[in-house]
Amino acid sequence: MNSIRRWFLTAANSLALWPSNGGVMAVFALGVTFGITLSTLNLEGIRHYGLSVGALEPYLLMTNDWSYAFFLHLGMLLLLCDAPFFTGNEAFCLSRVGRGDWFVGKLVYMAVALLLFQAVVFVTLLAGHAGRMTFAPGWSQFLGAAIRGLTVEQMIATDYISKLSWSTLAPLTPVMTPALACLHSLALTWLYGMVQALILFVCNLAFKRVVGILVAILPKVVDLLVWGGAERLAMFSLPTHARLVAHSFGGATMGLPRLWQSYVVLGAVLVVLAYAVGSALERHSFKTGE
């Protein structure tokens, strides 16, 4: 019980610094901007149909469309780019709780931070689509119309880019409900965010901070190659595992991973990275302000 208490006190100590951390506030403002931008791009198309979008569908679009997900992942990376979060009072905290409990406390902090960031984006998307939203349990009529496609005249009259983005969700509609899809998307995005955070953590311990950011971005380069025509590499792309639509649900899927495989891969990578961080912590000599 004492260890659990130390974990949450360490996490709370990091969260308490947010109001005075301009970088963190800027990242959350960026998350709000993401939500507003996506809402603005989509509302014209939604109004054109005269229909309402499902309450969970904008978040599903944000986490599954490649370009939107890129910026969401970037926001999560920037939020935690200061890992290992060693501030002025951390030396005292570290000496009191020990390196092991301190690291677990930082894991709790990163997990909570990523969930809060996604919550801010989700609420912004709800607010941005207010007035054109339905809370019915199934997929919306608007999404069905967008997936079926538009005529040339409709493409001219509405937002064609928006139509293309909404059709990204087409693989999900026959196989699961919006609520289940939202839970899977939240979990996969959170797991990938934790992978990014631990990459930053171990690289920032061993090298300069810029190295951690560059290494954490590398998986997105692999993902770009995958969706640029090298689908056979899908199993090796961590961002692909984080997007629910990029999975095999029983059809011809060009070697895409099964959903359970993505949970196993992301979980295994987290375990390996956590071990690497633990090993790096044993050898690292902390200095105040690093």
Task: Provide the β-strand partners of residue 133.
Answer: 53
The answer to whether 202 touches 277, Cβ cutoff 8 Å, is yes
| pLDDT computed for residue 168 by the predictor | 84
The H or E element containing residue 53 is strand 53-54
pLDDT tens digits, residue range 101-145?
888 889 999 999 999 999 999 999 999 888 888 888 889 888 887
Residues 1-8: what's their mean pLDDT? 79
Whether the pLDDT of residue 161 is over 60: the answer is no
The angle subtended at Cα 126 by Cα 161 and Cα 60, nearest 5°, is 55
Amino acid at 138: G
Mean of pLDDT over the chain:
82
Whether the pLDDT of residue 24 is over 70: the answer is yes
Confidence of residue 43 (pLDDT cuts 50, 70, 90): confident
Omega before 219 within 30 of 0, i.e. cis = no
pLDDT tens digits, residue range 206-246?
777 777 788 888 888 777 777 665 666 677 788 889 999 98
0.85 surpassed by pTM: yes
Count Cβ neighbours within 10 Å for each residue of 171-204 and write b for 16 or more, e otherwise: bbeeebebeebbebbbebbbbbbbbbbbbbbbbb
**All structural domains of the chain with their residue ranges:** 2-283
Q: Cα–Cα distance between 102 and 12 in angstroms, integer?
A: 12
Task: Provide the β-strand partners of residue 134.
Answer: 54
